[in-house]
A and B are shown apart, each in its own frame.
Chain A
Amino acid sequence: MRRALALLLIAGLLGAAGPAVAQGPIVAQFWYSFGGKNREVTEAHIKKFNESQSKYRIEGTFQGDYFQALAKIRAAAATKTAPAVFHVIGEAMPQLWQAGLFENLEPYAKGANGTNLEDFLPGQTQHTYFDYLGKPPAPLFALPFFRSTPILYYNAEMLQAKGVKVPTTWDELHDVAGKLTVREGSDVKVYGFEVPIDWWFWYAMLHEAGGSLLTADGKKAAFREKGAEALQFWVDLVNKDKTMKRPPGKDYNAWEVTNTDFLNQRVAMIYTSTAFLNYMTENAKFKFGTAFLPGKAKQAVPTGGTFFVIARDAPAPQKEAGWAFIKWMTDPAQTISLSKATGYMPIRTSAVNSPEMQDFYKQNPNYKTAIDQLRTAQRFPFSPGLIEIQREVIQPNLEAAVLGIKTSAEIMQAAEAKANEILGKQ
């Protein structure tokens, strides 16, 4: 009797569970790299997407910073367990595209459940992020997610107290940093300027100095002279003038130090990403402003942040779910709320022009700097060697100049030779 009852119960459960599984939403994984506040914002949007419809369900997982996530994605791809949707930094995309990790998004974007590609803001899209080096562009494989540029943050109270204006050129930056530095004996109480010794800011200054990473055809590295000029500007500020602090730590550790120093009023001006605007606004106990990066031969910035991609190896229903999610996340309504909650830029023209965003910019002019600065944005060469040049050739070697271990010229000469070696292998 008992056994019959148990069997009946099991049969009942199976009967109930069977169709429910078939009718349930298609579940797809999404890996992301935003910690802290931006993680909450991302999770809130995932939740909202899941509640907005019943066909798909996205499960988000935090995977560490951009580079930690990149390592996990590659490890997962090697074992064919990559999530359906993830996002990557632009510099890593040419190599991963060439390796066949990404799905071609053109059929999705132009299909029945397509999106209005015309409305994506120039400077924010895959095709305006990359310079295809005279070759035909790669198909669309990425849509912008959180996009940023470096901007200058300044402590408005300190500038006012010393009666100085926001610098717009390297020379002015040099002078203003000197005037804002406060010394006590041999110790520096407040540094005039601080910036992570990092590829991203170096790339801005390389272009400001009038240089570029590669030749126009992408076959050779061409950054030696202007790259050294950019690096030397930091070296002099740190070692000769002692008006710039070199934040310790590598990668994002140095960024964190820079932000913290600014918030603790240990430094008057910093370069960092517009992505930290909300964080700064919430935590600064003083009035601060944002401005374009000061220029040299011209004004120039790289863009940063990440793009959504879909894993080519994912099962078709999951790709479909992933696309629905990406499409939704890049819709004007979401790009507006994502931008306002973080400081990253909106990615749609209609979003920037919307009354809601225009109103927000009027009340929070600091948020407008990045979007205005987009007109000076520089492209990255679409070269599979780009990520290796960034991560191995440039990034780890910049610090040696500021520490006085090698000269800027030596570093850039060696880096250019190494970069050419990498390009030769492609």
Chain B
Amino acid sequence: MYLYPVAYSAWVSVYEWDLATPARYVGLQNYRALWSAEFGEVVANTVWYSVGVVVLSQALGLALALALNNRTRLGALFQASIFSSYVVSWVAVSLLWIWLLDPQYGLVTYVLRLVGLPSVNWLGDHRIALWSLVLVTVWKTVGYPLVIYLAGLQAIPGDLLEAAALDGAGSWQRFRHITWPLLAPTSLFLLITLTVASFQGFDIVRIMTQGGPVTATMIYVYYIYEQAFQYFKLGKASAAVVIFFALIVGLTFLQWLLFRRRLHYTA
């Protein structure tokens, strides 16, 4: 049952089908059609988007977790407010940021002008747009690594850190040699989940840029959507789905291998 959609996609991927006229068997032609500069750009966009999101949100999540790892009320307030954006729908967040990033009258533009910086066409400049989406995604999702890292930090025995402090280890040394290694399983878990989630990015593109300007923010899932439901190339879209499925399975397997070795090491 679970595999049915994938199997169906694989079947459709060898046909030319526009939903209106009868499907025509074309063999591997759809896969050959994907072997193009356009598709290469889509893959590159997806990888850059994913790397940006994973690295930034994980680093920021860890930094925030270290800063907020206390049981004060203020800490709890910060944690809750940062996590709240993670719970809000993508549509709401995307609409909010379209307004904030407007190059003529957005709040961000206003603040930049106030401090004497030139305004930036965040979503309209094809060299910047993808990174604007990365930033918005990080803003929205950072609550997730924050919470997971907090849980990880609280699992680290306090006496280890105390003993190190007594032996004269500075805060960087304590982080480097105790906290970071003990957080490794947490980091790997986040790496897998964030990578898979960012590869599946769609809503933000659909609302904020529709893949544009031109193809600057065309990431994988949006590309599939566009081929299928804008251009009605069901076969080509399905071929992209099959490749995507293989890619995600491969990626997960790779990370699982790493994860297994890591667990072995700590145990």
Contacts and interface: CB of A to CB of B under 8 A. Distances in A.
Interface of A: 67-68, 71, 74-75, 77-78, 95-96, 98-99, 101, 186-187, 246, 248-251, 253, 261, 264, 266, 388, 391-392, 396-397, 399-400, 403, 405
Interface stretch (B85-93, B119-127, B140-148, B151-159): B119-127
Given A248-B124, A403-B126, A99 B20 contact: yes
Interface string B207-248: 001111111000000000000011110000000000000000
Contacts of B103: 248
B5 interface: no
A187 B117 CA distance: 12
Given A95-B20, A248-B124, A186 B118 contact: yes
B229 A96 contact: no
Contacts of A253: 210
B171 interface: no
A67 B209 CA distance: 16
Contacts of B104: 261, 266
B36 interface: no
Given A248-B124, A391-B230, A77 B20 contact: yes
Nearest to B229: A71
A71 B213 CA distance: 23
A405 B126 contact: yes
13 contacts: A71-B229, A71-B232, A77-B20, A95-B20, A187-B119, A248-B124, A248-B213, A250-B212, A396-B214, A399-B214, A403-B125, A403-B126, A405-B214
B20 A400 contact: no
B18 interface: yes
A389 to B, nearest CB: 12
Contacts of A266: 104-105
Interface residues of B, number: 26
Given A391-B230, A392-B231, A77 B19 contact: yes
Contacts of A71: 229-230, 232
A405 B216 CA distance: 11
A249 B231 contact: no
B21 interface: yes
B18 A74 contact: yes
Considering residues B19, B124, B125, B210, which has the most beta carbons from chain A within 10 angstroms of its beta carbon?
Answer: B19
Given A71-B229, A248-B124, A405-B126, A399 B20 contact: no
A403 B124 CA distance: 9
Nearest to A68: B229
Given A74-B232, A403-B213, A246 B20 contact: no
Nearest to A392: B231
A72 to B, nearest CB: 9
Contacts of A186: 118
Contacts of A392: 231
Contacts of B212: 248-250, 399
Contacts of B210: 249-251, 253
Contacts of B18: 74, 99
Nearest to A251: B210
Nearest to A78: B19
Contacts of B19: 74-75, 77-78
A67 B206 CA distance: 14
Contacts of A68: 229
Interface string B14-27: 00001111000000
Given A187-B119, A248-B124, A99 B231 contact: no
Given A266-B104, A391-B230, A250 B211 contact: yes
A271 B80 CA distance: 46
Nearest to B207: A253
B214 A403 contact: yes
Given A264-B105, A403-B125, A403-B213, 10 more contacts: A67-B230, A71-B230, A74-B20, A250-B209, A250-B212, A266-B104, A388-B231, A392-B231, A403-B214, A405-B214
A101 B20 CA distance: 7
Contact of B214 (A67, A187, A397): A397
A316 B222 CA distance: 39
Contacts of A77: 19-20
Nearest to B17: A78
B123 A248 contact: yes
Nearest to A99: B20
Contacts of A250: 209-212
Given A74-B19, A246-B124, A400 B118 contact: no
Contacts of A399: 212-214
Contacts of A248: 103, 121, 123-124, 209, 212-213
Interface in B159-205: none
Nearest to B211: A250
